[in-house]
Protein backbone atom coordinates (compact mmCIF):
# COMPACT_ATOMS: atom_id res chain seq x y z
CA UNK A 1 0.00 0.00 0.00
CA UNK A 2 1.07 3.53 -0.70
CA UNK A 3 2.00 6.00 2.00
CA UNK A 4 2.76 9.73 2.09
CA UNK A 5 4.85 11.76 4.51
CA UNK A 6 4.66 15.53 4.76
CA UNK A 7 7.80 16.55 6.55
CA UNK A 8 6.57 19.78 8.12
CA UNK A 9 3.35 20.12 10.12
CA UNK A 10 3.57 23.93 10.18
CA UNK A 11 5.40 26.41 7.97
CA UNK A 12 5.37 30.13 8.85
CA UNK A 13 6.66 32.56 6.21
CA UNK A 14 6.52 36.26 5.56
CA UNK A 15 4.40 37.71 2.79
CA UNK A 16 6.16 37.83 -0.60
CA UNK A 17 8.76 35.28 0.53
CA UNK A 18 9.21 31.97 -1.32
CA UNK A 19 7.92 28.76 0.21
CA UNK A 20 8.47 25.02 -0.23
CA UNK A 21 6.21 22.38 1.30
CA UNK A 22 7.81 18.96 1.33
CA UNK A 23 6.20 15.63 0.47
CA UNK A 24 7.67 12.14 0.17
CA UNK A 25 5.79 9.04 -0.98
CA UNK A 26 6.49 5.33 -0.87
CA UNK A 27 7.94 3.97 -4.08
CA UNK A 28 5.91 2.31 -6.77
CA UNK A 29 6.24 1.33 -10.41
CA UNK A 30 3.87 4.07 -11.50
CA UNK A 31 2.34 6.75 -9.38
CA UNK A 32 -0.11 9.62 -9.59
CA UNK A 33 0.49 12.47 -7.15
CA UNK A 34 -1.73 15.32 -6.02
CA UNK A 35 -1.61 18.47 -3.94
CA UNK A 36 -4.85 19.72 -2.41
CA UNK A 37 -5.46 22.94 -0.48
CA UNK A 38 -7.99 23.53 2.29
CA UNK A 39 -8.83 27.15 3.09
CA UNK A 40 -10.33 27.87 6.53
CA UNK A 41 -13.81 26.39 6.97
CA UNK A 42 -13.86 24.86 3.50
CA UNK A 43 -13.42 21.47 1.87
CA UNK A 44 -10.36 20.49 -0.14
CA UNK A 45 -9.73 21.64 -3.67
CA UNK A 46 -7.16 20.45 -6.18
CA UNK A 47 -4.03 22.60 -6.62
CA UNK A 48 -2.25 20.38 -9.13
CA UNK A 49 -1.52 16.79 -10.05
CA UNK A 50 1.24 14.78 -11.65
CA UNK A 51 0.23 12.01 -14.01
CA UNK A 52 3.18 11.57 -16.40
CA UNK A 53 5.49 13.54 -18.67
CA UNK A 54 7.17 16.74 -17.51
CA UNK A 55 8.36 16.51 -13.94
CA UNK A 56 7.48 20.16 -13.28
CA UNK A 57 3.76 20.59 -12.81
CA UNK A 58 2.06 23.96 -12.68
CA UNK A 59 -1.14 24.49 -10.75
CA UNK A 60 -3.54 27.20 -9.72
CA UNK A 61 -2.67 30.37 -7.78
CA UNK A 62 0.99 30.35 -8.90
CA UNK A 63 1.92 27.05 -7.25
CA UNK A 64 4.10 24.42 -8.88
CA UNK A 65 5.49 21.04 -7.85
CA UNK A 66 8.39 18.92 -8.98
CA UNK A 67 8.19 15.14 -9.28
CA UNK A 68 11.49 13.47 -8.39
CA UNK A 69 11.35 9.72 -8.92
CA UNK A 70 14.80 8.96 -7.53
CA UNK A 71 14.07 10.78 -4.28
CA UNK A 72 10.37 9.74 -4.24
CA UNK A 73 9.44 13.36 -3.58
CA UNK A 74 6.81 15.78 -4.83
CA UNK A 75 7.56 19.13 -3.19
CA UNK A 76 5.25 22.10 -3.64
CA UNK A 77 6.67 25.59 -4.26
CA UNK A 78 5.59 29.17 -4.74
CA UNK A 79 8.10 31.96 -5.46
CA UNK A 80 6.15 34.68 -3.63
CA UNK A 81 3.31 34.01 -1.20
CA UNK A 82 0.32 36.18 -0.30
CA UNK A 83 -1.78 36.43 2.82
CA UNK A 84 -4.53 34.62 0.93
CA UNK A 85 -2.32 31.50 0.67
CA UNK A 86 -2.84 30.86 4.38
CA UNK A 87 -4.34 27.37 4.39
CA UNK A 88 -3.63 23.72 5.04
CA UNK A 89 -1.97 21.80 2.22
CA UNK A 90 -2.27 18.06 1.66
CA UNK A 91 -0.13 15.83 -0.51
CA UNK A 92 -1.76 12.62 -1.76
CA UNK A 93 -0.87 9.56 -3.82
CA UNK A 94 -3.26 7.45 -5.83
CA UNK A 95 -3.72 3.81 -4.88
CA UNK A 96 -5.99 1.04 -6.15
CA UNK A 97 -8.22 -0.90 -3.79
CA UNK A 98 -11.11 -3.21 -4.59
CA UNK A 99 -11.22 -2.01 -8.17
CA UNK A 100 -11.50 1.68 -7.33
CA UNK A 101 -9.03 4.48 -7.11
CA UNK A 102 -8.50 5.89 -3.65
CA UNK A 103 -6.22 8.63 -2.39
CA UNK A 104 -3.77 8.20 0.46
CA UNK A 105 -3.16 11.56 2.13
CA UNK A 106 -0.29 12.95 4.10
CA UNK A 107 -0.75 14.52 7.51
CA UNK A 108 -1.05 18.04 6.13
CA UNK A 109 1.10 21.18 6.36
CA UNK A 110 -0.38 24.35 7.79
CA UNK A 111 1.02 27.36 5.93
CA UNK A 112 0.80 30.64 7.82
CA UNK A 113 1.66 33.89 6.06
CA UNK A 114 2.76 36.77 8.24
CA UNK A 115 2.57 40.37 7.01
CA UNK B 1 -18.49 22.90 -11.98
CA UNK B 2 -18.83 19.81 -9.86
CA UNK B 3 -20.78 20.39 -6.72
CA UNK B 4 -20.64 18.16 -3.66
CA UNK B 5 -22.98 19.13 -0.86
CA UNK B 6 -23.21 17.86 2.68
CA UNK B 7 -26.39 18.07 4.72
CA UNK B 8 -24.97 19.96 7.70
CA UNK B 9 -21.93 22.14 8.39
CA UNK B 10 -22.13 21.67 12.15
CA UNK B 11 -23.80 18.92 14.16
CA UNK B 12 -23.96 18.25 17.90
CA UNK B 13 -25.15 14.84 19.09
CA UNK B 14 -25.28 12.87 22.33
CA UNK B 15 -23.38 9.67 23.05
CA UNK B 16 -25.38 6.67 21.86
CA UNK B 17 -27.44 8.55 19.28
CA UNK B 18 -27.73 7.31 15.71
CA UNK B 19 -26.27 9.91 13.35
CA UNK B 20 -26.78 10.29 9.61
CA UNK B 21 -24.47 12.39 7.44
CA UNK B 22 -25.70 12.93 3.90
CA UNK B 23 -23.67 13.72 0.80
CA UNK B 24 -24.95 14.54 -2.69
CA UNK B 25 -22.98 15.11 -5.90
CA UNK B 26 -24.41 16.54 -9.10
CA UNK B 27 -21.95 15.30 -11.76
CA UNK B 28 -22.94 11.67 -12.28
CA UNK B 29 -19.71 10.46 -10.66
CA UNK B 30 -19.22 6.73 -10.15
CA UNK B 31 -17.06 6.91 -7.02
CA UNK B 32 -17.91 8.44 -3.67
CA UNK B 33 -15.88 8.58 -0.48
CA UNK B 34 -16.21 9.41 3.21
CA UNK B 35 -13.17 10.67 5.15
CA UNK B 36 -12.61 11.92 8.64
CA UNK B 37 -10.10 14.69 9.26
CA UNK B 38 -8.30 15.07 12.57
CA UNK B 39 -5.42 17.45 13.40
CA UNK B 40 -2.05 15.88 12.74
CA UNK B 41 -3.57 12.81 11.11
CA UNK B 42 -4.63 14.23 7.76
CA UNK B 43 -7.58 12.59 6.02
CA UNK B 44 -8.38 8.97 6.71
CA UNK B 45 -10.71 6.96 4.50
CA UNK B 46 -13.73 5.46 6.26
CA UNK B 47 -15.70 3.90 3.38
CA UNK B 48 -15.98 4.29 -0.35
CA UNK B 49 -18.35 3.20 -3.07
CA UNK B 50 -17.69 2.70 -6.78
CA UNK B 51 -21.24 1.89 -7.79
CA UNK B 52 -24.80 2.08 -6.54
CA UNK B 53 -25.40 -0.36 -3.69
CA UNK B 54 -21.67 -1.19 -3.58
CA UNK B 55 -19.49 -0.28 -0.62
CA UNK B 56 -15.96 -1.03 0.45
CA UNK B 57 -14.23 -0.53 3.77
CA UNK B 58 -11.51 2.03 3.95
CA UNK B 59 -8.80 2.31 6.57
CA UNK B 60 -10.98 3.08 9.62
CA UNK B 61 -14.48 1.59 9.12
CA UNK B 62 -15.10 0.53 12.73
CA UNK B 63 -18.15 2.19 14.23
CA UNK B 64 -19.46 3.40 10.85
CA UNK B 65 -21.66 2.10 8.07
CA UNK B 66 -22.72 3.57 4.72
CA UNK B 67 -25.56 3.46 2.26
CA UNK B 68 -25.68 4.22 -1.46
CA UNK B 69 -29.16 3.64 -2.84
CA UNK B 70 -28.88 6.24 -5.61
CA UNK B 71 -25.83 7.19 -7.66
CA UNK B 72 -25.76 10.79 -6.50
CA UNK B 73 -26.19 10.17 -2.77
CA UNK B 74 -23.83 8.55 -0.25
CA UNK B 75 -24.75 8.44 3.43
CA UNK B 76 -22.51 7.83 6.42
CA UNK B 77 -24.14 6.34 9.50
CA UNK B 78 -22.87 6.28 13.04
CA UNK B 79 -24.99 3.54 14.64
CA UNK B 80 -24.21 4.62 18.20
CA UNK B 81 -22.17 7.80 18.38
CA UNK B 82 -19.24 7.97 20.76
CA UNK B 83 -17.08 10.88 21.88
CA UNK B 84 -14.09 9.57 19.93
CA UNK B 85 -16.10 10.11 16.75
CA UNK B 86 -16.00 13.88 17.29
CA UNK B 87 -14.30 15.03 14.10
CA UNK B 88 -14.60 16.77 10.75
CA UNK B 89 -16.22 14.53 8.13
CA UNK B 90 -15.55 15.13 4.45
CA UNK B 91 -17.35 13.60 1.51
CA UNK B 92 -15.81 13.41 -1.97
CA UNK B 93 -16.67 12.10 -5.40
CA UNK B 94 -14.70 11.23 -8.54
CA UNK B 95 -15.55 10.27 -12.07
CA UNK B 96 -14.22 6.73 -11.69
CA UNK B 97 -12.29 4.34 -13.89
CA UNK B 98 -8.75 5.73 -13.75
CA UNK B 99 -6.17 6.37 -11.06
CA UNK B 100 -5.68 9.92 -12.26
CA UNK B 101 -9.16 11.11 -11.32
CA UNK B 102 -9.52 14.28 -9.31
CA UNK B 103 -11.62 13.94 -6.18
CA UNK B 104 -14.08 16.76 -5.52
CA UNK B 105 -14.84 17.53 -1.90
CA UNK B 106 -17.81 18.86 -0.03
CA UNK B 107 -17.42 21.61 2.60
CA UNK B 108 -17.36 19.15 5.50
CA UNK B 109 -19.49 18.46 8.55
CA UNK B 110 -18.01 19.21 11.94
CA UNK B 111 -19.55 16.66 14.31
CA UNK B 112 -19.35 17.00 18.06
CA UNK B 113 -20.46 14.08 20.22
CA UNK B 114 -21.12 14.99 23.85
Residue A28: per-residue pLDDT = 65
Suggest the residue from B29, B103, B108, B109 to mutate for an interface test with chain A (most A CBs closer than 10 A).
B103
Q: How far apart are CA A62 and CA A79, in angstroms?
A: 8
Rg (CA), chain A: 14
The number of beta carbons lying within 10 Å of the beta carbon of residue B3 is: 11
Q: Specify whether the backbone of B30 is left (phi greater than 0), alpha (psi in -120 to 50) or beta.
A: alpha
Decide if A43 and B102 are in contact by the 8 Å CB cutoff: no
For B31-43, letters b (16+ CB in 10 Å) and e give bbbbbbbeeeebb
Decide if B94 and A101 are in contact by the 8 Å CB cutoff: yes
Q: How far apart are CA B32 and CA B14, in angstroms?
A: 27
Rounded to the nearest angstrom, the minimum Cα separation between A83 and chain B is 22
Decide if B50 and A98 are in contact by the 8 Å CB cutoff: yes
Residue A7: per-residue pLDDT = 92
Q: Alpha carbon of A28 to those of A61, A70, B103: distances in Å?
A: 29, 11, 21
Q: For A43-65, how does the pLDDT look when each residue is reduced to its tens digit (9 = 90+)?
A: 999 999 998 888 899 999 999 99
Q: For B79-109, how does the pLDDT look when each residue is reduced to its tens digit (9 = 90+)?
A: 999 999 999 999 999 987 677 889 999 999 9
Q: Residue B89: which of B57, B58, B111 has the closest Cα? A: B111
Q: How far apart are CA B71 and CA B26, in angstroms?
A: 10
Task: Pick out chain A residues at pLDDT < 70.
Answer: 27-29, 99
Residue A66: per-residue pLDDT = 95
Task: Pick out chain B residues at pLDDT < 70.
Answer: 2, 97
CB B92 within 8 A of CB B76: no
Decide if B40 and A102 are in contact by the 8 Å CB cutoff: no
Amino acid sequence: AQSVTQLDSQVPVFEEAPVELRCNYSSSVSVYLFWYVQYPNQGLQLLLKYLSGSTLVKGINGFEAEFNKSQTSFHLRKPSVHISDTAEYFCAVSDWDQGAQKLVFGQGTRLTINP
Amino acid sequence: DVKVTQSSRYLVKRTGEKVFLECVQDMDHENMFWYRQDPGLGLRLIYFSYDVKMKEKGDIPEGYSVSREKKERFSLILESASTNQTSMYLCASSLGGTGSDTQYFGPGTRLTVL
